[in-house]
Amino acid sequence: MIEVKETSDVQAVQSVIDQLSKFDHEQVLFCQDKTTGLKAIIAIHNTVLGPSLGGTRMWAYKTETEALTDVLRLSRGMTYKSSLAGLNLGGGKAVIIGDARKDKSEALFRRFGKFVNSLAGKYITAEDVGITTRDMELVALETEHVAGLPEYMGGSGDPSPVTAYGVYMGMKASAKQQYGSDSLNGKKVMVQGVGHVGATLVDYLVKEGAQVMISDIFEDSLKAITNKHSQVQVVALDQVYDVDMDIYAPCALGATVNDDTINRLKCSIIAGAANNQLADETVHGKVVMEKGIVYAPDYLVNAGGIINCYWEVIGYNREAAMSQTEEIYNTALRIFAKSADEQIPTYLAANQLAEARIEAIKHVQSSF
Ligand code: NAD
Q: Is the domain of 129 the same as that of 173?
A: no
Q: What burial class does residue 254 get, using C-beta atoms within 10 Å of its C-beta: 0-12 exposed, 13-18 middle, 19+ buried? A: middle
CA of 196 to the centre of ligand 1 (A): 7
Q: Is residue 317 part of a domain?
A: yes
CB-based pocket (< 6 A), ligand 1:
159-160, 163, 192-198, 215-218, 221, 237, 251-253, 273-275, 302, 305
Q: Is the domain of 137 the same as that of 222?
A: no
Q: Is the domain of 41 the same as that of 93?
A: yes
Q: Phi, psi (5° rounding) for residue 244?
A: -75, 110
Nearest residue (CA) to ligand 1, atom 4: 195
Look at residues 342, 362, 365 and name the one whose alpha carbon lies nearest to residue 352.
342
Q: Is the domain of 181 the same as that of 138?
A: no
Q: Which of 163, 201, 308 to mutate to test the pocket of ligand 1 (most atoms within 8 A of CB)?
A: 163
pLDDT at 35 (0 to 100): 98
Nearest residue (CA) to ligand 1, atom 8: 195
**Residues known to be catalytic:** 93
Q: Is residue 21 part of a domain?
A: no
- Residue 189 belongs to a domain with what CATH number? 3.40.50.720
Kindly report whether the global pTM for this prediction surpasses the value 0.75: yes
Ligand 1: which atom is nearest the Cα of residue 308? 40
Q: Is residue 13 part of a domain?
A: no
Q: Is residue 82 part of a domain?
A: no
pLDDT at 367 (0 to 100): 84
Give the end of a domain, one of 108, 128, 153.
153
- Residue 60 belongs to a domain with what CATH number? 3.40.50.10860
* Pairing between β-strand 38-46 and β-strand 27-33 as defined by DSSP bridges: antiparallel
Distance CA 358, CA 366 (A): 12
pLDDT at 9 (0 to 100): 57
Distance CA 174, CA 170 (A): 6
Q: Is the domain of 46 the same as that of 194?
A: no
**C-alpha to C-alpha distances, 168 to 130, 214, 218, 240, nearest whole angstrom:** 27, 15, 23, 20
Q: Is the domain of 285 the same as that of 309?
A: yes
Q: Is residue 212 part of a domain?
A: yes
Q: Is the domain of 111 the same as that of 234?
A: no
Q: Is residue 109 part of a domain?
A: yes
Q: Which of 165, 251, 301, 322 to mutate to test the pocket of ligand 1 (most atoms within 8 A of CB)?
A: 251
Orientation angle between helical segments 328-342 and 346-365, nearest 10 degrees: 110
Q: What burial class does residue 137 get, using C-beta atoms within 10 Å of its C-beta: 0-12 exposed, 13-18 middle, 19+ buried? A: middle
Q: Is the domain of 256 the same as that of 324?
A: yes
Q: Is residue 94 part of a domain?
A: yes
CA of 274 to the centre of ligand 1 (A): 7
CB atoms within 10 A of CB 77: 18
Give the end of a domain, one of 106, 131, 153.
153
Ligand 1: which atom is nearest the Cα of residue 272? 30
Nearest residue (CA) to ligand 1, atom 15: 252
| Number of independent structural domains in the chain | 2
CA of 275 to the centre of ligand 1 (A): 9
Q: Is the domain of 249 the same as that of 276?
A: yes
pLDDT at 154 (0 to 100): 87
CA of 101 to the centre of ligand 1 (A): 19
Q: Is the domain of 329 the same as that of 277?
A: yes
Distance CA 159, CA 162 (A): 6
Nearest residue (CA) to ligand 1, atom 12: 193
Q: Is the domain of 276 the same as that of 339?
A: yes
Nearest residue (CA) to ligand 1, atom 29: 274
Q: Is the domain of 116 the same as that of 230?
A: no
Ligand 1: which atom is nearest the Cα of residue 197? 26
Nearest residue (CA) to ligand 1, atom 40: 160
Please report, in tens digits, the pLDDT of each residue of the chain (368 residues total).
444 455 555 566 668 889 899 999 999 999 999 999 999 999 999 999 999 999 999 999 999 999 999 999 999 999 999 999 999 999 999 999 999 999 999 999 999 999 999 999 999 999 998 999 899 999 999 999 999 898 888 899 889 999 999 999 999 999 999 999 999 999 999 999 999 999 999 999 999 999 999 999 999 999 999 999 999 999 999 999 999 999 999 999 899 999 999 999 999 999 999 999 999 999 999 999 999 999 999 999 999 999 999 999 999 999 999 999 999 999 999 999 999 999 999 999 999 999 999 999 999 988 88
Q: Is residue 38 part of a domain?
A: yes
Domain limits for position 299: 160-356
